[in-house]
Chain A
Amino acid sequence: MQRIFQIDGEETDCWLGHDGSRFVLHTPTRAVACQLDPTGLPGGYTLRAKGVVRELRLAVGPEATFVHMNGRTYEVGRVDPAERLAGSDGGASDDRLVAPMPGVVVSVAVKPGDAVEEGQPLLVIESMKLETTLTAPRGGVVAEMPFAEGDSFGLKDILAQLAPEEE
């Protein structure tokens, strides 16, 4: 299973495998055979790896595991790989709001020249008995609001345009 661990703020990709007789921890640079046995104490384990034997204590929480070893406590966070990869796809957001369907403008909240923040409501449209608030895809300055209250618009008409971002 591929895992991403966050140990004291630093991230490591690992893969815990089994070679038939023991567990092997694969890191990006090497493979380490290891063994973890309970000592009978609450949360107590004996770790054997690379010929070294260490006593440690584990406390497992929903978001992280705390490892107490050699008089120190390490926080080991688990990162969901799907979450991590989903977070890395943030492409450039669009400058335009395009009508998702034909409809009528119910109200307009901003005018050209206004500075807006990401998520700020720009206008409310109605279509098929449903009112939808359209919000700014990013922070910026409003360049155009082509439709006024009561105007009808068609599919894919541009309902709001932000001024291009300066590099």
Chain B
Amino acid sequence: MRRIESQIDTNAADYKANFAAMSERLKEFHARQHAARFERPQRDIDRLARQNKLGVRERLKLLLDPGTPFLEFSTLAACREYDGTVPGAAVVTGIGIVQGREVAIHANDASVKGGAWYPHTVKKVVRLLDVALENRLPVIHICDSAGGFLPLQHGVFPDRYLGGRVFRNQVKLSQANIPQIAVVGGHCTAGGAYVPTLSDYNIIIEGTGAIFLGGPPLVKAATGEEVGVQELGGAVMHTSVSGTGDYRAATEQHAFSLAREIVSQWKRTPKTIIETAAFEEPYYDPKELYGIIPKDRKTQFDMREVLARIVDGSRFHEYQPDYGTTMVCGFAHIWGYKVGILANNGVLFNDSSLKAAHFMQLCNQNRTPLVFFQNITGYMVGREYEERGIAKDGAKMLMAQGGSVVPKFTVIANASYGAGNYGMCGRAWDARTLFMWPQAEIGVMGADQAANTMADVKIRQLQREGKELTEEEIAAIREPVLEKYKRDVEAYTSTSELWDDGILDPADTRNALGISISASLNAPIDDPHYGIFRL
């Protein structure tokens, strides 16, 4: 496979300006990520110490194999909700390695509101369990939660993808023969009691861990019975009397070494075999991505330059290089795994849509996972293109993409507007993982177009009521709409709402994809089959 020859001049003024702008953005991003992971009010840290509990990060350190990667999802979930007081949505999720095995981790962060379930917590946990189901990854739950956050119970409890879905997914995992362990390092009350009880294995830490449907105060209120935490649902009672708990651990260290021992007992099923090549670092430095991504989102850039800093050896076998050129398709390796890449080099035209559909069928046929790099402002509009059937050709692309049986992975590298998001495997299309770069935007259209459309509707409405508007009045309507929309399309809004699995430093993209692809091979790949293509 040939190496991409980069045309980038790292001494050019543009490159340097882009590099500076991206570095500035990343400084903010890393600071926010650090704060969400580690910065807590002193009283919450003191409370954990008083309760004789370890923080969630220390727990993960005890559980995971030392020196192995942990792909954390949605670190900045809920960063724009609850006035920013629920960092990470009070839960840590991700894919890590335990005893050499890829596992999905769901760990309550009791340093945030006692690990209470907020609406975004539930969304994050359900997503993690979906990841476990799709990729057939065993799950390790670390339970330490105050329970559902009552003032927002309507956003936690009733709907199809809310609280009940956590337990429903646990049942589906068990049904699919995917093992789960729960380490109970705090109270599991009410619904929370079903996380350890629906797991094949659970470990209760003596003194701090407890499981009950109703805690002591609720029992007192309901029946008048006075009972302490340990008698009601402590480690000794559950592991020797009720059989609700399987293992009793004397300390946190003991609990996590037991969990590791359990994982080592599991049968190892062979992973799905796809084409591989010897691992090779990219020839071009991934940090050069900072200078390649334009500081102005509207400026076009060549995705091949991006791919050259992501894939093994910067080697890329381009498919149909001279047809439908706004859609770059081709084969490469990431961490040695052969992948088919689809990357936007402009608007999707009829030919580029057909090329994409054809290439995806090719990859499904030879069981090659698909990686999408989005910088898409949409499918081309206008009479000429409608007459050529742009909607029909776009539908073919959606049919091929949505019907793909190979694992799919998406990176929103810049713009993700309109139906282009759909064609390029946006959130609704079951990408095994989907990440965003910090400057990227996602929305039904660009900020200016949307603000103008919304403001025009308002202005026409006022004009119908007979009001004459001055330039200033029109600006006064447009500006707040524009400001709000600009914020709504930002990556931080997306990641806050869990429309993605996290924001990435572009230089980390290769590793995030590597782990994602490796994890996806725990699940088999089906034979290709599709719906009806509108030819």
- Kindly report which residue of chain B lies nearest to residue A125, judged by CB atoms: B300
Give a binary string over A72-99; 1 marks a CB under 8 Å from any B CB, 0 the rest: 0000000010110000000000000000
Query: Is A132 within 8 A of B2, CB to CB?
Result: no
In Å, the complex CA distance between A131 and B298 comes to 5
Query: Is A129 within 8 A of B346, CB to CB?
Result: no
- Kindly report which residue of chain B lies nearest to residue A156, judged by CB atoms: B384
Query: Is A132 within 8 A of B300, CB to CB?
Result: yes
Q: Residue B347 at the A interface, CB < 8 A? A: yes
In the complex, how many angstroms separate the beta carbon of B382 from the nearest chain A beta carbon? 6
Known A82-B2, A101-B347, A101-B349; judge A130-B382 contact (CB<8 A).
no
Contacting residues, chain B, for A155 (C-beta < 8 A)? 384
Contacting residues, chain B, for A132 (C-beta < 8 A)? 300, 346
Q: Residue A144 at the B interface, CB < 8 A? A: no
Known A101-B347, A101-B349; judge A128-B381 contact (CB<8 A).
yes
In the complex, how many angstroms separate the beta carbon of A8 from the nearest chain B beta carbon? 24
Q: Residue B380 at the A interface, CB < 8 A? A: yes
Query: Is B347 within 8 A of A127, CB to CB?
Result: yes
Contact count A vs B, C-beta below 8 Å: 40
Query: Is A129 within 8 A of B380, CB to CB?
Result: no
In Å, the complex CA distance between A128 and B448 comes to 12
Contacting residues, chain B, for A126 (C-beta < 8 A)? 298
Query: Is B298 within 8 A of A129, CB to CB?
Result: yes
- Kindly report which residue of chain A lies nearest to residue B325, judged by CB atoms: A100
Q: Residue A140 at the B interface, CB < 8 A? A: no
Give a binary string over B286-316; 1 marks a CB under 8 Å from any A CB, 0 the rest: 0000000000101110000000000000000
Task: Give chain A interface residues in 34-89, CB to chain B under 8 Å.
Answer: 80, 82-83
* Chain A interface category by residue count: 10 to 19
Q: Residue B517 at the A interface, CB < 8 A? A: no
Give a binary string over B345-387; 1 marks a CB under 8 Å from any A CB, 0 the rest: 0110100000000000000000000000000011011101000
Q: Residue A137 at the B interface, CB < 8 A? A: no
> Which of A80, A101, A126 lies at the interface centre, i.e. has the most chain B CB atoms within 10 A of its CB?
A101
Q: Residue A27 at the B interface, CB < 8 A? A: no
Neighbour of B377 across the interface among A80, A82, A83, A130, CB < 8 A: A130
In Å, the complex CA distance between A127 and B300 comes to 11
Query: Is A130 within 8 A of B2, CB to CB?
Result: no
In Å, the complex CA distance between A128 and B379 comes to 9
Contacting residues, chain A, for B346 (C-beta < 8 A)? 100, 130, 132
In Å, the complex CA distance between A101 and B346 comes to 10
Chain A residues within 8 Å of B, Cβ to Cβ: 80, 82-83, 100-102, 126-133, 155
Chain B residues within 8 Å of A, Cβ to Cβ: 2, 296, 298-300, 346-347, 349, 377-378, 380-382, 384, 415, 417, 445-446, 448-449
